[in-house]
Amino acid sequence: MSSKADVWQGTLALMVLKTLERAGSLHGYGIARQIRRTSADLLSVNYGTLYPALLKLEQEGFIASEWGVSDNNRKAKYYQLTRVGQKQIEKETQEWEQMTAILARFLNPAEGRA
């Protein structure tokens, strides 16, 4: 059994957007590494999941990409947040806060009663 948890379905897009908001332009490996660091090495991002998510985010206009050269002198695609992506962060953050509040009512039913 792996010591790292998989990223929950529906959370990867928000994690990518927040990572790019905080760190600026990053390539795919850098995004995965930053997500792992932010989670204190508790989350593991599968590259087979990350790159399709990046493509989808780019197609939706939330991120933009351009080719550049990485630190080890290799060609790499760098991603950055767009204005539309910034608005999406706000929307998804509100949705997750609402959902976690709802889940908290199930996890702690006594606190949800008035």
Domains, in order of start, for the chain: 5-112 (1.10.10.10)
Distance CA(53)–CA(48), nearest Å, equals 9
Distance CA(36)–CA(61), nearest Å, equals 25
Token pair recorded at residue 85 = 């992506």
Q: Judge whether residue 112 has pLDDT over 80.
A: no
pLDDT tens digits, 63-91? 999 999 998 999 999 999 999 999 999 99
E strand map for the chain:
5-6, 26-27, 43-44, 63-69, 75-81
Angle between helices 28-38 and 12-23 (to 10 degrees): 100
> What b-and-e string marks burial along 35-47, b requiring 16 or more CB atoms within 10 Å of the CB?
beeeeeeebebee
Q: Judge whether residue 107 has pLDDT over 60.
A: yes
Distance CA(17)–CA(39), nearest Å, equals 15
If pLDDT is split at 50, 70 and 90, which confidence band does 114 have? low
Q: Judge whether residue 16 has pLDDT over 80.
A: yes
Which residues, at least 6 apart from 6, have a Cβ–Cβ distance to it below 8 Å? 43, 44, 46
pLDDT tens digits, 40-69? 999 988 889 999 999 999 999 999 999 999
